[in-house]
Amino acid sequence: MNSISDEKSIEEQNNIFVLPDGLLVRILSELSWKDILNIKLVSRSFYNFIHENYHQLNRRETFEFEIRHNKYCRRYPFHLRRLGKFPSREKKVKIRSSKELSRYIKVFDTRNLWKLDVYVPDSLDIFDIMNRSFQAGTKICFLIIPKVVEKDFRSFRKFINKISSVKSLYIERIGTPSTEAKDVPSFLSLSTLNTTNYYGFSNCDVTKILSADVVNKFLKREINTVTIGTKNIEFVTSVFKEYFTVKQPHKMKNECSCNKISFHLFFGGNFLHLRNTLKNYLCEFGNVKEVINISDFIIFESIVDCKYCLKNRHTIKRELILHKI
């Protein structure tokens, strides 16, 4: 009780909070972030004021964040690389804990990121850390995540809802063996991802939760590129059929921006058998043809007229590119 009363007494004696909030923000903006973080520790009132006015303080603009976790570095397991606004050299720091990582990220202006690359083990809920660290309304051009497991779905949804847009999303692996296919569309259909024009996924051979129906949901959006890696020939066959029969996405506007859609499938199985299987289906599609065929690279293509752009007549090219891995 004495420490609390002493704290209030000091603030009353200094009479600092009779200053207008705007003036206090201007004063704090002249200080370094190291000083601001130290001031937060002076008293609860200082802490609350700075926390409530973070968004008004000048932060160093950041162009790119790369977060890694090394379990063998016990003292400093988090390794962070930051690239500021050009011209700027990259900065690398080692951080002790998730709490310290969150405090460090808050020092910077993260509202417009070119790339956020996150690589941490399953044992850490990195999305919970990012929810506490990144500003609401953040825009990310490239979001790269190696894995989203089932226990992270809730915090991942929360993080995606917090940011305003993601142009390109790459997730190396989704789910665990217990994950059901119905869980995937629930977080990949969030409104924030409506502006995403590139998706990249790896279809785990254990979970096999990416189905042709899930892929079909992506293809109904106005997107440019989808990339998926798999060893499942049944999955590729189903996707092949869906891709060239799915209806063109229709946006409620005068003109669409859809001229070319590319679908990259990286296949790790019997490539020759897959090629022969898909060629047997070509007779079912009058407008689909094989345009390139080499040992480890095949392109199937269709060109159709756009149904919705009545003034600006144009065609839409769909290409499915098979890569041997």
pLDDT by residue (tens digit) across 194-252?
788 888 887 655 556 677 777 777 777 767 888 888 888 888 998 888 888 877 655 54
pLDDT higher than threshold 60 for residue 79: yes
Q: Are 240 and 216 in contact (CB under 8 A)?
A: no
d(CA 127, CA 253): 35
pLDDT higher than threshold 60 for residue 37: yes
Q: What pLDDT, on the 0 to 100 scale, is given for residue 257?
A: 60
Grade residue 182 by pLDDT with cuts at 50, 70 and 90: low
CA 77 to chain centre: 23
For 323, the 3-state DSSP assignment is strand
For 261, other C-beta atoms within 10 Å of its C-beta total: 22
Q: Are 130 and 106 in contact (CB under 8 A)?
A: no
- The tokens for 79 are 């390794």
pLDDT higher than threshold 90 for residue 116: yes
pLDDT higher than threshold 80 for residue 29: no
Q: What pLDDT, on the 0 to 100 scale, is given for residue 14?
A: 47
d(CA 201, CA 210): 9
- The tokens for 293 are 């065929």
What whole-number percentage of the chain has pLDDT above 70?
A: 78
Highest mean pLDDT among 47-56, 204-213, 221-230, 295-304: 295-304
**Residue extent(s) of CATH 1.20.1280 domains in the chain:** 16-58
What whole-number percentage of the chain has pLDDT above 90?
A: 19
Of the candidate CATH numbers 3.30.70, 1.10.1060, 3.90.320, 1.20.1280, the domain formed by 16-58 belongs to 1.20.1280
Q: Are 282 and 290 in contact (CB under 8 A)?
A: yes
